[in-house]
């Protein structure tokens, strides 16, 4: 697969859904990928990328930003509170807001810095003990709490359990977003982004289908 192939498939899924062309944001997940592969995708004009670790992102994106304008960076992995300031400096969106302490820290930083990344609340739709995210039953209260802090909430994010039908999780996330008046839905990865779009995804996070398999140490 290539960026062009994936973009074509995204456009087709948008048409199928009846969503406006270009309304789904394709986040190219570049974590662990060699810089040459990331550079190749930048050179094709793509500007929207996702990373799951602040440290790794801090090591490579400032250099890419010297070469390419308009890079839109999304944090899609868990965030330690003590890295929040660094995340503020690097990312335009954070998809993993999932606890009051982090929400309060972001609110304080937003005051201090005069800007704030757009936020997605991560919901642990599969209620997996090892996974980050608020439980579905706690989502409404947490969303209200984040709003009371004036955080720029864009929507919700989920990572369905690997061995379950993703549709159920996409549908649940869409339902929670709708009843809370949130438009953004960050869901769908290499294997299921078309399905996610059919359930209303506005942001899909696609790594290996664009860059090839991740080389893990």
CB 122 within 8 A of CB 133: yes
**Beta carbon nearer to ligand PLP, 135 or 141:** 135
Question: What is the dihedral sign for C-alpha 26, 153, 135, 172?
Answer: negative
Please give the helix or strand (H or E) that residue 67 lies within, else none.
helix 54-67
25 belongs to the binding site for ligand PLP (CB under 6 A) = no
2 belongs to the binding site for ligand PLP (CB under 6 A) = no
The dihedrals phi and psi of 51, each to the nearest 5 degrees, come to -130, 150
Q: Tell which positions 77-106 bind ligand PLP, by CB under 6 A.
A: 77
207 belongs to the binding site for ligand PLP (CB under 6 A) = yes
190 belongs to the binding site for ligand PLP (CB under 6 A) = yes
Q: Residue 201: CB partners within 8 Å, gap ≥ 6?
A: 24, 170, 185, 186, 187, 188, 193
What is the size of the binding site for ligand PLP (CB under 6 A)?
A: 13
52 belongs to the binding site for ligand PLP (CB under 6 A) = yes
Q: Residue 121: CB partners within 8 Å, gap ≥ 6?
A: 97, 98, 134, 139, 142, 143, 146, 153, 155, 156, 157
196 belongs to the binding site for ligand PLP (CB under 6 A) = no
**Beta carbon nearer to ligand PLP, 49 or 88:** 49
Given the structure tokens 């070469």, which residue do they identify? 67
Q: Tell which positions 122-161 bind ligand PLP, by CB under 6 A.
A: 159
**Beta carbon nearer to ligand PLP, 17 or 31:** 31
166 belongs to the binding site for ligand PLP (CB under 6 A) = no
**Beta carbon nearer to ligand PLP, 95 or 176:** 95
Taking residue 132's Cβ as centre, other Cβ atoms within 10 Å add up to: 16
Q: Which range in 65-73, 129-137, 147-155, 203-211 contacts ligand PLP by CB under 6 A?
A: 203-211
Helix (H, G, I), strand (E, B) or coil at 25: strand
76 belongs to the binding site for ligand PLP (CB under 6 A) = yes
- Catalog residues that contact ligand PLP under the rule CB under 6 A: 29, 31, 52, 76-77, 159, 189-190, 205-209
């Amino acid at each position: 697969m290539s960026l062009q192939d994936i973009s074509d498939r995204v456009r087709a899924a948008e048409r199928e859904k009846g969503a406006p062309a270009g309304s789904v944001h394709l986040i190219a997940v570049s974590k662990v990928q060699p810089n040459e592969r990331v550079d190749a995708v930048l050179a094709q004009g793509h500007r929207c990328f996702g990373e799951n670790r602040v440290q790794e992102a801090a090591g490579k994106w400032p250099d890419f930003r010297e070469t390419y304008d308009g890079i839109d960076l999304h944090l899609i992995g868990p965030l330690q509170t003590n890295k929040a300031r660094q995340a503020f400096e690097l990312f335009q969106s954070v998809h993993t807001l999932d606890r009051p302490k982090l929400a309060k820290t972001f609110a304080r930083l937003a005051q201090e810095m005069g800007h704030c990344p757009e936020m997605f609340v991560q919901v642990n739709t599969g209620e997996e003990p090892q996974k980050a995210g608020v439980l579905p039953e706690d989502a409404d209260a947490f969303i209200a709490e984040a709003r009371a802090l004036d955080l720029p909430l864009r929507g919700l994010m989920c990572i369905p359990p690997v061995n379950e039908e993703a549709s159920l999780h996409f549908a649940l996330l869409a339902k929670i977003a709708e009843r809370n008046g949130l438009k953004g839905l960050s869901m769908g990865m290499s294997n299921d982004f078309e399905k996610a779009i059919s359930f209303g995804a506005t942001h899909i996070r696609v790594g290996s289908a664009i860059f090839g398999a991740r080389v893990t140490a």
